């Protein structure tokens, strides 16, 4: 058992972090935050626009800052972006402030799930399979480094994945008691 105040979902694009995360939040009575959507809300710009204006480096800095703020809170299910694990500080915070679930998916299933998705800057090139393969080579060891639990979403639809994962979480994750800040409310 790893008592943690938050549930953090990591994994590659197309693994189901957002769709499963939203359902898990409902199941456990927690608030759901998609880190990429949070970045977009804070900047007033889409992820592709941020990449275009600031490059990946600028986006990753925003991502690390957003995750730090989110993980300082309690009672969240956080769906991270696929590259959130690239930042060492973010990995440390995930381990310290969350029970981290690595959602796994095969390359073939990623390609299938992302076939019509044109909103991901890293997939803007012609050879999506090659890009996803290279991202996996870089990121898989980092997902493994932070993960308290690995869960394969490959052959599951989100409702099935949520049910199976929730049963595993019931056995392996105890939500840590709220912090003093949580009891008093977040500072304005």
Sign of CA dihedral 170, 23, 59, 14: positive
pLDDT digits (tens, 9 = 90+) for 39-87: 999 999 999 899 999 999 999 999 999 999 999 999 999 999 999 999 9
Whole-prediction pTM value?
0.89
State the pLDDT at residue 186. Answer: 47
97 annotated as belonging to a binding site for a ligand: no
CB-based contact 15:114 (threshold 8 Å): no
23 annotated as belonging to a binding site for a ligand: no
State the pLDDT at residue 118. Answer: 75
14 annotated as belonging to a binding site for a ligand: yes
CB-based contact 90:68 (threshold 8 Å): yes
Ordered by where they begin, the domains of the chain are 7-173 (3.40.50.300)
15 annotated as belonging to a binding site for a ligand: yes
pLDDT digits (tens, 9 = 90+) for 83-138: 999 999 999 999 999 999 999 999 999 888 887 877 777 777 778 889 899 999 99
- In 17-140, beta strands by DSSP E: 31-34, 76-79, 99-104
75 annotated as belonging to a binding site for a ligand: no
pLDDT digits (tens, 9 = 90+) for 142-158: 999 999 999 999 999 99
User: Using 50, 70 and 90 to split pLDDT, how confident is the model at 187?
Assistant: very low
């Amino acid at each position: 058992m790893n008592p943690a105040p938050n549930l953090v979902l990591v994994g590659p694009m197309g693994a189901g972090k957002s769709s499963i995360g939203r359902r898990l939040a409902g199941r456990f009575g927690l608030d759901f935050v998609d880190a990429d959507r949070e970045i977009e809300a804070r900047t007033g710009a889409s992820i592709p626009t941020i990449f275009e204006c600031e490059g990946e480096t600028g986006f990753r800095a925003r991502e690390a800052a957003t995750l730090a703020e989110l993980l300082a809170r309690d009672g969240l299910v956080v769906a991270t972006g696929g590259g959130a694990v690239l930042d060492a500080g973010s990995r440390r915070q995930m381990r310290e402030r969350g029970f981290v679930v690595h959602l796994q998916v095969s390359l073939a299933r990623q390609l299938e799930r992302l076939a019509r998705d044109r909103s991901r800057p890293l997939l803007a090139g012609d050879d999506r399979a090659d890009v996803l393969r290279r991202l996996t080579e870089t990121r898989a060891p980092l997902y493994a480094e932070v993960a308290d639990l690995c869960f394969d979403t490959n052959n599951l639809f989100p409702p099935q994945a949520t049910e199976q994962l929730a049963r595993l979480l019931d056995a392996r994750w105890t939500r840590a008691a709220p912090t003093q800040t949580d009891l008093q409310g977040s500072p304005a």
